[in-house]
Amino acid sequence: MTSGRTAVTGIASLLGSRVLRRLAEVRPPESLLAVDVAAPPPALGVRHRPLDFTEPASDQRLLELLREEQVETVVHAAFFTNPRRDTGYAHELESIGTLNLLAAAAAAGVQRVILRSFTAVYGARGHNPNFLTEDHPLQPEPGLAWVRDKLEAEQHAAAFARRYPGMSVTVLRFAPLFGPGVHTFYTRVFDHRVVPLLMGYDPLVQLLHPEDALAAFVAAIEQAPGGAYNVVPSRPIPLLTAYHLAAKIPVFVPHPVAYAGADLLWAAGLGAAPGAFVDYVRYLFVADGEKARQRLGFVARHSSRDALSAYLRYRHPHAGWQAAEATS
Amino acid sequence: MRTSARVVPLRPRAGPKAEARPPDETLHDARDGFLVALARVLEKGGAGLDWARLAEAWSALYFAWHSEEVDEFGYDPKFTRTILPLFEFLYTMWWRVETSGVDHVPDQGPALIVANHSGVLPWDGLMINLAVRHEHPARRHCRMLALDMFALLPFLAPLLAQSGAVRANQENGERLLRKGELVGVFPEGVKGVGKPFKERYRLARFGRGGFVRLALRTGSPIVPCAVVGAEEIHPKVASMDWLGRPLGLPYLPITPTFPVLGPLGVIPLPTKWSIDFADPIPMAPYGPEGAEDPILVNRLSEQVRSTVQHMVDSRLARRRSVWFG
Q: State the DSSP string of B87-127.
A: HHHIIIIIS--EEE-GGGS-SSS-EEEEE---SSSTHHHHH
Q: How close, in Å, is residue B316 to chain A by CA atoms?
A: 37
Is B84 inside any structural domain?
yes
CA distances (Å), A318 to each of A26, A53, A126, A321, B77, in order? 34, 42, 40, 8, 33
pLDDT at B258 over 60: yes
* Paired strand residues for A76: A115
Lowest mean pLDDT segment, chosen from A249-258, A276-285, B24-33: B24-33
Q: How many CB atoms lie within 10 A of CB A37?
A: 16
> What residues of chain A lie within 8 A of the CB of B157, using their CB?
200-202
Domain end call among B64, B88, B104: B64
**Residues in B 52-91 with any Cβ partner in A closer than 8 A:** 52, 54-56, 58-59, 62-63, 66, 68-70, 72-74
What value of ipTM does the predicted structure carry? 0.86
Those residues of chain A whose CB sits closer than 8 Å to some CB in chain B are 126-127, 129-131, 133, 191, 193-194, 199-202, 204, 235-238, 240-241, 244-250, 255, 305, 308-309, 312-313, 315-316, 318-322, 325
pLDDT at A206 over 60: yes
Mean pLDDT of B101-112: 96
Domain count, chain B: 2
Mind listing the pLDDT tens digit for each residue in A7-46? 999 999 999 999 999 999 999 999 999 999 999 999 999 9
Is B158 inside any structural domain?
yes
pLDDT at A50 over 90: yes
> What residues of chain B lie within 8 A of the CB of A204, using their CB?
70, 72, 74, 161
For chain B, give the mean pLDDT: 86
**Residues in B 12-31 with any Cβ partner in A closer than 8 A:** 12-13, 17, 20-22, 25, 28
pLDDT at residue B52, as a whole number: 78
Mean pLDDT of A310-322: 73
Give the residue, A119 or A326, on which the prediction is more confident. A119
Q: How close, in Å, is residue B54 to chain A by CA atoms?
A: 8
Q: What is the distance between the alpha carbons of residues B129 and B107, in angstroms, rounded to a whole number? A: 15
pLDDT at B18 over 80: no
Contact A111, A45 (CB under 8 A): no
DSSP state letters, A164-213: -TTSEEEEEEEPPB-STT---TTTGGGGSSEEEEETT---EE--B-HHHH
SS3 state of residue A307: helix
pLDDT at residue A325, as a whole number: 40
- Contact assignment for A193 to B63 by CB distance below 8 Å: no
Q: What is the distance between the alpha carbons of residues B186 and B170, in angstroms, rounded to a whole number? A: 13
User: Residue B156 is part of a domain; what is its CATH number?
Assistant: 3.40.1130.10
User: Looking at the structure, do residues B46 and B157 belong to the same domain, yes or no?
Assistant: no
DSSP state letters, B171-232: HHHHHHHHTT-EEEE-TTTHHHHT--GGGTT-PPP-TTSHHHHHHHHHTPPEEEEEEESGGG
Residue of B nearest to A318 (CA): B6
Residue of A nearest to B23 (CA): A320
- Contact assignment for A249 to B58 by CB distance below 8 Å: yes
Q: Name the nearest CA neighbour of A156 among A103, A194, A87.
A: A103
Q: Name the nearest CA neighbour of A95 among A78, A107, A82, A110.
A: A78
Mind listing the pLDDT tens digit for each residue in A267-291? 999 988 999 999 999 999 999 999 9
Name which of A131, A241, A318 is nearest B175 (Cβ-Cβ). A131
User: Looking at the structure, do residues B143 and B276 belong to the same domain, yes or no?
Assistant: yes
User: β-pairing, A5-9 with A32-36?
Assistant: parallel
User: Looking at the structure, do residues B118 and B37 belong to the same domain, yes or no?
Assistant: no
User: Looking at the structure, do residues B140 and B47 belong to the same domain, yes or no?
Assistant: no
pLDDT at B3 over 80: no
pLDDT at residue B37, as a whole number: 66
pLDDT at residue B35, as a whole number: 72
pLDDT at residue B5, as a whole number: 47
User: Looking at the structure, do residues B57 and B205 belong to the same domain, yes or no?
Assistant: no
Residue A66: which pLDDT band, with cuts at 50, 70 and 90? very high
Lowest mean pLDDT segment, chosen from A250-259, A308-317, B91-100: A308-317
Is B242 inside any structural domain?
no
Residue of A nearest to B22 (CA): A320
Q: Name the nearest CA neighbour of A129 among B141, B48, B168, B4.
A: B168
Mean pLDDT of A229-253: 94
Q: Name the nearest CA neighbour of B117 among B149, B83, B71.
A: B149
Residue B247 contacts A where some CB pair is shorter than 8 Å: no
Name B90's Cβ contacts closer than 8 Å, sequence gap at least 6: B123, B126, B127, B268
Residue of B nearest to A235 (CA): B72
Residue of A nearest to B171 (CA): A129
- Contact assignment for A319 to B25 by CB distance below 8 Å: no
Contact B238, B136 (CB under 8 A): no
Lowest mean pLDDT segment, chosen from A109-123, B52-66, B300-314: B52-66
Lowest mean pLDDT segment, chosen from A282-286, B176-180, B196-200, B274-278: B196-200
pLDDT at residue A268, as a whole number: 94
- Contact assignment for A319 to B59 by CB distance below 8 Å: no
Is B71 inside any structural domain?
no
**What percent of chain B has a predicted confidence (pLDDT) above 90?**
60
Q: What is the distance between the alpha carbons of residues A240 and A266, in angstroms, rounded to a whole number? A: 24
pLDDT at residue A145, as a whole number: 95
Contact A88, A125 (CB under 8 A): no
Name B109's Cβ contacts closer than 8 Å, sequence gap at least 6: B180, B220
pLDDT at A217 over 60: yes
For chain A, give the mean pLDDT: 92
> What residues of chain A lie within 8 A of the CB of B154, using their CB?
199-201, 255
- Contact assignment for A130 to B66 by CB distance below 8 Å: no
Residue B279 contacts A where some CB pair is shorter than 8 Å: no
pLDDT at residue A328, as a whole number: 28
Name which of A241, A316, A325 is nearest B17 (Cβ-Cβ). A325
Q: Where are the alpha helices (DSSP H) in A6-140?
A: 14-26, 58-68, 87-91, 97-107
Q: What is the distance between the alpha carbons of residues A289 and B72, in angstroms, rounded to a whole number? A: 12
> What residues of chain B lie within 8 A of the CB of A315, using their CB?
7-8
Mind listing the pLDDT tens digit for each residue in B186-232? 999 888 888 889 899 999 999 899 999 999 999 999 999 999 999 99
- Contact assignment for B8 to A312 by CB distance below 8 Å: yes
Structural domain harbouring B158: 77-233+268-318
- Contact assignment for A236 to B72 by CB distance below 8 Å: yes
Dihedrals phi, psi of B188, to nearest 5 degrees: -65, -30
User: Looking at the structure, do residues B90 and B169 belong to the same domain, yes or no?
Assistant: yes
What H or E segment, with its residue span, contains residue B130? Answer: helix B123-135
Residue B25: which pLDDT band, with cuts at 50, 70 and 90? very low
User: Looking at the structure, do residues B169 and B229 belong to the same domain, yes or no?
Assistant: yes
Mean pLDDT of A46-67: 93
User: Looking at the structure, do residues B167 and B57 belong to the same domain, yes or no?
Assistant: no
Amino acid at A317: P
| N residues, chain B | 325
pLDDT at A60 over 60: yes
The rounded Cα B195 to chain-centroid distance in angstroms is 20
User: Looking at the structure, do residues B49 and B191 belong to the same domain, yes or no?
Assistant: no
Mean pLDDT of A216-225: 95
- Contact assignment for A241 to B155 by CB distance below 8 Å: no
pLDDT at residue B249, as a whole number: 78
Under CATH, to which class is A5-177+207-232+286-301 assigned?
A: alpha beta
Domain map (residue ranges) of chain A: 5-177+207-232+286-301
pLDDT at B149 over 70: yes
Residue A318: which pLDDT band, with cuts at 50, 70 and 90? low
Start-to-end Cα distance in chain A = 33
Residue of B nearest to A304 (CA): B69
Residue B107 contacts A where some CB pair is shorter than 8 Å: no
Is B11 inside any structural domain?
no
Q: Name the nearest CA neighbour of A272 among A158, A205, A184.
A: A184
Name which of B51, B68, B175 is nearest A193 (Cβ-Cβ). B51
pLDDT at residue A1, as a whole number: 45
Residue of A nearest to B60 (CA): A244
- Contact assignment for B154 to A248 by CB distance below 8 Å: no
Residue B281 contacts A where some CB pair is shorter than 8 Å: no
Q: How many CB pairs under 8 A join A and B?
A: 127
pLDDT at residue B10, as a whole number: 54
Q: How many CB atoms lie within 10 A of CB B82?
A: 15
> What residues of chain B lie within 8 A of the CB of A202, using their CB?
157-158, 161
User: Looking at the structure, do residues B138 and B26 belong to the same domain, yes or no?
Assistant: no
Name A101's Cβ contacts closer than 8 Å, sequence gap at least 6: A9, A53, A59, A62, A74, A76, A113
Q: Name the nearest CA neighbour of A164 among A152, A174, A156.
A: A156
- Contact assignment for B55 to A248 by CB distance below 8 Å: yes
pLDDT at B84 over 90: yes
Mean pLDDT of B146-169: 91
User: Looking at the structure, do residues B101 and B218 belong to the same domain, yes or no?
Assistant: yes
Is B46 inside any structural domain?
yes
pLDDT at A190 over 70: yes
Angle at which helix A14-26 crosses helix A210-223, to 10 degrees, equals 60
**What percent of chain A has a predicted confidence (pLDDT) above 70?**
96
Residue B179 contacts A where some CB pair is shorter than 8 Å: no
Q: What is the distance between the alpha carbons of residues B114 and B283, in angstroms, rounded to a whole number? A: 13
* Paired strand residues for A116: A172
User: β-pairing, B238-239 with B222-228?
Assistant: unpaired
User: Looking at the structure, do residues B51 and B104 belong to the same domain, yes or no?
Assistant: no
Contact B53, B1 (CB under 8 A): no
**What percent of chain B has a predicted confidence (pLDDT) above 70?**
86
Q: Name the nearest CA neighbour of B306 among B281, B272, B274, B325.
A: B281
> What residues of chain A lie within 8 A of the CB of B6, using their CB?
316, 318-320
